[in-house]
């Protein structure tokens, strides 16, 4: 099991500090939140992108994902969404990241319309992603929070450069058992996002193991060599404990849960 954490847990932290934090706590990778308020975003020049990539390379830490906010199932014209996808794919390529994260964002549309929009846009983006050596991953989230929802879209696209991220909180909130989530997502799975929360009513981030999410059951379904990323949503919960001091015990907890069964 290879471990990463999301910079959503350390909003605004300079790249050099993120690299030191990952390396110093035994994490092999980082999921970079690509938002205008963050140091890494689509507005970076080619030189700035090269500097970021070199910083991670020098620190021995992989950039796992450019975590974008494109909403592929959203109502409206395709072009703005496709332009956003292309920008994220180019950023990932320039940074040496294998993945781009996107959301469904289907809103109040009916499932059939949301599915159709998402599949159409992802299908249109797939050739450019293939040319750039990047895989676009649709996260279990919002309008498509169950694994079955995301698998339905990704399966419709049917392109190797389009896959899935399993956010274990959202599939749990959807009432889907871990074995069921894994069964439908496995053919498309890029990696897994873990986190912990107190309840469905209180999703304030907690240290791993301090909440109610079935993390062991999720990890038990996975191959031993896959990526697991801790998405600690500090950005949205100012009162939550800081992530840096939680990283080392969080790593140990994940390694214990994911240890090969005897």
pLDDT for residue 242: 96
Instruction: Count the domains in the chain.
Output: 1
| Digit-coded pLDDT (tens) for 3-38 | 999 999 999 999 999 999 999 999 999 999 999 999
Do the domain assignments include residue 262? no
pLDDT for residue 262: 39
Q: What is the mean pLDDT of the chain?
A: 96
Do the domain assignments include residue 113? yes
Name the pLDDT band for 260 (thresholds 50, 70, 90).
Answer: low
How far apart are alpha carbons 92 and 1 in whole angstroms?
22
For residue 96, give the CATH number of its domain. 3.20.20.150
DSSP the chain: -EEEEEGGGSTT--HHHHHHHHHHTT--EEEEE--TTSSSSTT--HHHHHHHHHHHHHHT-EEEEEEEEEETT-SS-HHHHHHHHHHHHHHHHHHT-SEEEEE---TTS-HHHHHHHHHHHHHHHHHHHHHHT-EEEEESBTTB-SHHHHHHHHHHH--TTEEEEEEHHHHHHTT--HHHHHHHHGGGEEEEEE---S-SS------TTSSS--HHHHHTTS-TTSEEEE---GGG-TTSPPSHHHHHHHHHHHHHHTSPP-
Do the domain assignments include residue 131? yes
Domain that holds residue 88: 2-257
| Digit-coded pLDDT (tens) for 187-233 | 999 999 999 999 999 999 999 999 999 999 999 999 888 999 999 99
Query: 197: closest CA among 172, 164, 165?
Result: 172
Query: 203: closest CA among 255, 251, 145?
Result: 145
| Digit-coded pLDDT (tens) for 111-164 | 999 999 999 999 999 999 999 999 999 999 999 999 999 999 999 999 999 999
pLDDT for residue 224: 83
pLDDT for residue 250: 97
pLDDT for residue 48: 98
Do the domain assignments include residue 22? yes
Average of pLDDT values for 42-63? 98
């Amino acid at each position: 099991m290879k471990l990463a954490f999301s910079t959503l847990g350390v909003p605004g932290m300079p790249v050099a500090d993120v690299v030191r934090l990952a390396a110093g706590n035994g994490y092999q990778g980082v999921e970079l939140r690509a938002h205008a308020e963050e140091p890494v975003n689509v507005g970076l020049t080619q030189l700035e992108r090269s500097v970021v990539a070199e910083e991670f390379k020098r620190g021995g830490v992989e950039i796992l994902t450019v975590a974008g906010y494109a909403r592929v199932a959203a109502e409206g014209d395709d072009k703005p969404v496709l332009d956003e996808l292309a920008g994220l794919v180019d950023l990932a390529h320039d940074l040496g990241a294998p993945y781009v994260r996107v959301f469904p964002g289907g809103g109040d549309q009916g499932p059939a319309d949301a599915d159709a929009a998402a599949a159409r846009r992802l299908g249109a983006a797939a050739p450019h992603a293939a040319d750039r050596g990047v895989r676009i991953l649709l996260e279990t989230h919002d309008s498509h929070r169950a694994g079955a929802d995301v698998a339905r879209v990704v399966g419709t696209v049917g392109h190797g450069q389009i896959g899935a991220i399993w956010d274990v909180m959202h599939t749990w909130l959807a009432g889907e058992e871990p074995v069921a989530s894994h069964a439908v997502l496995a053919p498309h799975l890029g990696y897994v996002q873990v986190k912990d929360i107190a309840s469905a009513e209180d999703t304030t981030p907690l240290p791993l193991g301090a909440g109610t999410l079935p993390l062991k059951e999720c990890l038990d379904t996975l191959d031993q060599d896959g990526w697991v990323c801790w998405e600690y949503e500090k950005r949205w919960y100012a009162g939550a404990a800081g992530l840096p001091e939680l990283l080392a015990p969080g790593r140990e907890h994940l390694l214990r849960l994911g240890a090969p069964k005897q």
